[in-house]
Structure 1
Amino acid sequence: MAKQALIVIDIQNDYFPNGKWPLVGVEAAADNAARLIQAFRDSGQQVVHIRHEFTSDSAPFFTPGSSGAQLHPKVSNRADEPVVLKHFVNSFRETELEAILDQHDIEQLVVVGSMSHMCVEGTARAAADLGYAVTVIHDACATLDLEFNGQRVAAAQVQSTVMSALAFAYASVLSTEEFLAAERVTPA
């Protein structure tokens, strides 16, 4: 069986209530991500955390060295779980993520995190382009309302659009329950 890893993208303090850039449904998404983290830990499989920091103090959120840029306590890494620092949407761009996955012979990625329409989508697409089999857990991801051309796009619509696009050609898209019920987390 191919080895898989859980990729936990940008579940950081600024995305939570009282943070600089709160997301819709972030608490429930983080709770589901925590369940998946525990399942991967229990099975002895790799968990990789991604943490975004902008390079400028004038960034709207995730400013360098800020508490808002730290991983949220619901999904804190263990000492044996790498945390990849990134400065771009795509978690593979100018990071050691691919090297970490190669070091552990990972072929399948399970992706959770924030924001669905940016870093989750960018990373899932890049992973598929690099040849990984990708699964995105939609209810362990969060986004926010957007605006385009003067129109408000509700977070639920953003989420549905992103997940349907990923499911079309880049990833399997499942709920936490579907993933766990299918016993897709197997001992390493």
Structure 2
Amino acid sequence: MKRALLVIDIQKDYFPGGKMELVGSEEASLRARELIDGFRKGGEELIHIQHIVQSPNAPFFGAGTPGAEIHPNVQPLPGERLLVKHHVNAFKDTPLQTWLREKGITDVVICGMMTSMCVDAATRAAADLGFNTHVAADACAAPDLRSGSEIIPGRTVHNAFLAALGSLVARVESTRDILSRRG
């Protein structure tokens, strides 16, 4: 087994005061930081992913805006890979799959934001591409969502997506459990 950590879209717009605040973003970013530190210490592959929306009417993550910046809790170090993406799925129109294959990666660990969108898309894509896929449940966050007149709490959205991913797509586990195994 050779692992890579994908840190997906932990950007300022998802935090308090941002344009798309998520439920539990601060806590999730701190768990993601633990994963990053563990992967760095173990010399394992680490890829930071940043979503940039190229439309001038971007609701969040607009190119060149402060909200699109990587959050300070998970800043890449000089020399670490940073992948900029323009779609929900981190594998779409990016070199991500090529990078992972070139490094001989068999297992992908995913953390980040939003559980219900970019984390879900990357997890499903990684599994479809044949990677053993893991999601750090406590290192992800989701927003409150509206369905008609009903507001679905972000914690419920997060748990529902993790339950779906964990049923057939990926192994959903805690940061602590992921870090207890070495790649």
- Determine the structure 2 residue equivalent to 1:145: 144
3-state secondary structure, aligned to 2:106: strand
Shift of 1:67: 1.5
- Determine the structure 1 residue equivalent to 2:39: 40
- Determine the structure 1 residue equivalent to 2:177: 178
| 1:145-177 Cα shifts (integer Å, max 9, x gaps) | 001122111111101110000001110000112
- Determine the structure 2 residue equivalent to 1:161: 160
Report whether the alignment pairs 1:19 with 2:18: yes
3-state secondary structure, aligned to 1:106: coil
**How many residues end up aligned between the 2 structures?**
183
Moved more, 80-89 or 29-38: 80-89
Q: Which amino acid aligns with 1:131?
A: G
Q: Which runs of 4+ in 1 moved over 6 A?
A: none
Report if the CA contact (8 A) 1:26-1:141 is conserved. yes
Normalising by structure 2, we get a TM-score of 0.97
Report whether the alignment pairs 1:94 with 2:93: yes
* Aligned counterparts of 2:56 and 2:63: Cα–Cα separation in 1: 6
Q: Which amino acid aligns with 2:166?
A: A
Q: Which amino acid aligns with 2:48?
A: H
Shift of 1:66: 1.2
Shift of 1:109: 0.3
Q: Which amino acid aligns with 2:161?
A: V
Q: Which amino acid aligns with 2:47?
A: V
Unaligned ranges ≥5, structure 1 = none
Unaligned ranges ≥5, structure 2 = none
* Aligned counterparts of 1:185 and 1:52: Cα–Cα separation in 2: 29
Aligned residues: percent identity? 43
Shift of 1:179: 2.2
Report if the CA contact (8 A) 1:9-1:120 is conserved. yes
| 1:38-77 Cα shifts (integer Å, max 9, x gaps) | 0000000010011001111211100011111111111011
* Aligned counterparts of 2:18 and 2:156: Cα–Cα separation in 1: 23
3-state secondary structure, aligned to 1:118: helix
Report if the CA contact (8 A) 1:90-1:126 is conserved. yes
3-state secondary structure, aligned to 1:111: strand
Normalising by structure 1, we get a TM-score of 0.95
